[in-house]
Homo-oligomer: A and B are copies of this chain.
Amino acid sequence: MAVYTHLGAEELAELIAHYDVGELVSAKGIAEGISNSNWLIETTGPNGKGARYILTMYERRIELADLPYFLGLLDHLSAKDCPVPRTIHDRAGDAFRMEHGKAVALIEFLPGVSPTQPTPEQASAIGEVLARLHLASGDFGLVRANTMGFADNLRVLQACGETGLASINPALPAMLEPARKAAELDLGSLPQANIHADLFPDNVLMLGSKVTGLIDFYFACTGAMALDLATTHAAWSFDDRGRYRADVGSAIIAGYESVRPLETNERALLPGIAKGTALRFVASRAEDWLDTPDDALVTRKDPMQFVSRWHYYDDYGAQLFA
């Protein structure tokens, strides 16, 4: 949520000159991206008609080795008419360049805003687009393992320790046992594709009920499509106060199935997957909580929000995904 690296106008102009996008007209550092710096760039455009791009500088976490996967997936999906930004390749044909020892990529700007309280129509559109993404991503040539899988979540929670977890909230250590169960789920037997794996509202751009862009593919990986659906469901179907929004939740699933009906084994595992995906955010938030000093300027996200979603899926998952 910051711009970590300062790039002056002269440096930006020099960078832009490596692409066939015309001359720099404007550049604003934008407050998006957890571990990278982003600028909304305006140029005179390849045809002089003006164009806009997102310039991303990768600061941390993302391994250079993963960039061909992330950026290649965008190109693969946009070529198949999925609403994702394409990457702009430089004059040498490369999808990213090195500047100041960091990788940078120029990415298509897409219009749209991120709904925070989606309507059922919006939820249905999101489900549909997610299914289209899955159908389009299956034949992408590269593979990336999920680094936030259920076994990883268990490891993160164990590293926080019972004492650490209890220091955040006394109810947190009780999540260790369900995390152990989730880690035993065999998702490898389910239909696989290349999945977004983090489709929260911030990562979806919409105009009205139309999805104009899925963005921020930096958790994308090769994995079970049902996992992506469950994560999307967990991310969108609860309101500010943690109450389940049945109309939104069922619209996501119905929208998804209107494009790609779930298989029997996916449906059977979905309640467990939904619980596992809730635990993923319990684990990552608990880890961040313990890593962030109390007096830091950053707002810490409460892991208990997703404990409550885990409980919801534990109680009602079987009927939700029936």
Contacts and interface: CB of A to CB of B under 8 A. Distances in A.
Nearest to A24: B113
Contacts of A297: 296-298
Nearest to A41: B113
Interface string A102-115: 00000000011111
Nearest to A29: B31
Contacts of A114: 8-9
A26 B111 contact: yes
Contacts of A298: 297
A251 to B, nearest CB: 17
Nearest to A110: B26
A188 interface: no
Nearest to A112: B26
A290 interface: no
A207 interface: yes
Interface in A104-133: 111-117
Interface string A291-317: 001011110000000000000000000
A53 B105 CA distance: 26
A17 interface: no
Contacts of A3: 1, 31
24 contacts: A1-B2, A1-B3, A2-B31, A8-B114, A8-B116, A9-B113, A9-B114, A10-B116, A10-B117, A24-B113, A25-B111, A26-B111, A26-B113, A28-B28, A28-B30, A28-B31, A28-B32, A29-B30, A29-B31, A30-B40, A42-B111, A293-B295, A297-B297, A297-B298
Given A1-B3, A26-B205, A28-B40, 7 more contacts: A3-B31, A8-B115, A9-B116, A12-B113, A27-B113, A28-B30, A297-B297
